[in-house]
Chains A and B, each alone.
Chain A
Amino acid sequence: MRDEIKKAFDAVQADAALTRGTKDFLAQRLYRRPARRRAARLAPVLACLALAAAGWGGYRFYFTPQLTVSIDVNPSLELGVNRLNRVISVEGFNSDGEALAQSLDLKYMDCTAALKELLSSQELTAYLSADELVSIAVVGGEGGAGQELLTFLQDETAGQENIYCCSASYQEVAPAHELGLSYGKYRACLALQQLDPDLELEDVCHMTMRQIQDLTQELCEEEGSGENCETPSQAGGNASPQDDCEAGTQTAGQGYGGGHGQGRGHHSED
Chain B
Amino acid sequence: MNARVLLAAALALALLTPGAAAAERASLNEIEKQVMCPVCGTLLQLAESPQAQRERVFINHLIDEGKTEAEVKDALVAEYGDEVLALPPDSGFSLSAYVVPIAALLIAAVALAIGVLRWRRAGGGPDGGGAAPAGPSKRDAERLDADLARYDL
Q: Are A and B interaction partners?
A: no
